Structure 1
């Protein structure tokens, strides 16, 4: 479909059961006019995932500027770089670029120098460090799992609301082999994926396929997230689907966390409203949930029950036929609607396989809108 004479919107190979995502051609991301940005903004909210090819020359500064257009009142990385706390489970995964601190270098392997960053040892998140069980070592390079389905968000801090958009830029992509992604949840569900794929599901589709009863529950219930959630969950272990945690009592006590300010605890609707289409998306970070606030004022604080309910809502939406697993090529720039999609990294890399990606998102000042907004 031609939007303007030089701009094209093309479908990407998303699964037929859950068509979302679009590729845009014909825009210069380093020199965007206001009209150019409106095309991108509309595409993002209508399609959830937007792909630009061949962006090798795009600088970290221009990547940040693209994010900044979506959140013009913010200049703060989505986690405020608080992930540098050694207890945070995000600490090993992120390396801040010195000259553009809103942009993180992520990936795998040793990088002698990149954009002012020296001698960076990148660590790709491997499910064996976070899941309670792991794929046997002998099968590790042939099979993989979803690492952790999530929303990019600090989920703590009154002024640290979930980013509207995340940008991912593929700087270096090791090629060659593929892996079979296993759900390992008692089903035979699996996917054939490229090495180090990023998997996406549409929150709108996840809501759409719920029963009427579940939709009513989702529309009228709010989720309370744990304070300092990535430290709180640092000793807990994930389910094999990456869709939440086992309830083994391993979460840190509040007394073991950094100081907690009650007003900084985030409580969000389960369903977030798309600002352009008005559609509802099922948007929950399943590993960070602590309580559920029901419409009658009841609060469910039994963590095992909370997780069971959240899992029941989210599991249908990650069925293989609904997952878009992006086959990365160097120069790919992907924008995704962080308030309308869940995503996860996947893959198991050998130590010598160097992978370099730039990630940027900005904490917003406005909370996501719920169904009644």
Structure 2
């Protein structure tokens, strides 16, 4: 078999990205240690890896590839979050019975797949989560970023290192215009149902020296049970964090809170291979900011405005990689080095079926030295 090759997306026909790579000649069902080392190095240097023509890859092999980045991790990255009826994640995920760490996501009715019967999948639509929405008559032509996020429970469980997505069935063809609707006029032509990625490293590098210092020395505190806490709130039109309207679920109305599970994480996470810093904040789940001098920003509006100001340049159209899904594409992405968003609005008859896997890590992300010393 030929050696694995790694080719930057920007130099591949049909791609326009400043990060990411296409990997060829990788046998994901029978991955040697040497081949995994090539893939691991490529991932941490490129953040997104695309493997074409992988329809044959089993849920077990997908899980094993995902777990190989952290062999001590075994449970689904959101843990029991999907069991909570009030969680905003609850309707969107189905679990494969014989490989429970792998989830099925998509849109439309699927009679049978991998032991699941008569499943109704729902592609998240921005009108269910945003404070404003695109007019219904424009819905098939225009769309928005649904929610920029990191795949992470952010309560109790450490954020997964990687996520894998496999396209099993993809509706064909049409494009949509993704609108930011924030007064800037920004918009982006996207493939139907794309997954959008932006690099946390580019986001950090674009900050002013003052903001880089702030990001290096500050920590983000996340809400307890964050996906229930945020369930009453609504998103900004860019999908980058929430509007501050006082609609969060009060803490005394959440499930019992275990203080030791509340996560206070660095705003910047260090790359394990090249040492670069990524600005990694889940903008919808953040509740407080802890500063270098020991003070804490607790005003939620100020917290969100600060994070938004720092992250918004990073999602400008020229910084977004929108993957044009084809059946058999397996995308492996560095969940600790970028944020991503679901995009798109499907017609009822457009059936889409994907497999997703991420695993709660065995350790928290490493931050800058300034944070480590402060702790």
Query: How far off its partner does 1:122 sit?
Result: 0.3
How many residue pairs are counted as aligned between the two chains?
368
The 1-side partners of 2:303 and 2:289 are apart by 7
Check if 1:168 corresponds to 2:165. yes
Cα distance in 2 for partners of 1:99, 1:17 equals: 37
1:300 — aligned with what?
297
The residue aligned with 2:59 is 60
Q: Which runs of 5 or more structure 2 residues have no equivalent in the other structure?
A: none
RMSD (Å), alpha carbons: 1.4
Residue 77 of structure 1: aligned partner? 76
- Which residue in 2 is equivalent to 1:361? 358
Match of 1:222 in 2: 219
The answer for the alignment partner of 1:280 in structure 2 is 277
Alpha-carbon distance between aligned partners in 2 of 1:176 and 1:279, rounded to the nearest angstrom: 37
Residue of structure 2 in register with 1:321 after alignment: 318
Say if 2:21 and 2:49, in contact at 8 Å, map to a contact too: yes
Q: Which residue of 2 aligns with 1:154?
A: 153
User: Counterparts of 1:1-373 in structure 2 under 5 Å?
Assistant: 6-13=3-10, 19-157=18-156, 160-372=157-369
Q: CA deviation at 1:16?
A: 9.7
The 1:17/1:101 distance shift into structure 2, 3 A limit, reads closer
What per-residue deviation string (whole Å, max 9, x for no partner) do you get for residues 176-209 of structure 1?
2110000000011010000000000000000001
Q: Tell me, what secondary structure is at the counterpart of 2:227?
A: helix
CA distance in 1, matches of 2:319, 2:101: 31
Q: Which runs of 5+ in 1 are unaligned?
A: none
Query: Secondary structure of the residue that 1:295 maps to in structure 2?
Result: coil
Native 8 Å contact 1:17 1:322 kept in 2: no
Q: Is the 8 A contact 2:16 2:321 kept in 1?
A: no
Partner SS, residue 135 of structure 1? coil
* CA contact 1:17–1:321 (8 Å) conserved in 2: no
How far apart are the structure 2 equivalents of 1:27 and 1:365?
26
Q: Normalized against structure 1, the TM-score is what?
A: 0.97
- Residues in 2 aligned to 1:170 and 1:5: alpha-carbon distance in whole angstroms: 25
Helix, strand or coil: the match of 2:356?
strand
- Following TM superposition, where does structure 1 have runs of at least 4 consecutive aligned residues deviating by more than 2 angstroms? 13-18
Deviations 1:244-299 (A, max 9, x none): 00111010111110010000000100000000000000000000000000000000
Asked whether the 8 Å contact 2:9–2:16 carries over to 1, the reply is no
What SS class does the counterpart of residue 291 from structure 1 fall into? strand
Deviation at 1:175, TM superposition (A): 0.7
TM-score normalised per structure 2: 0.96
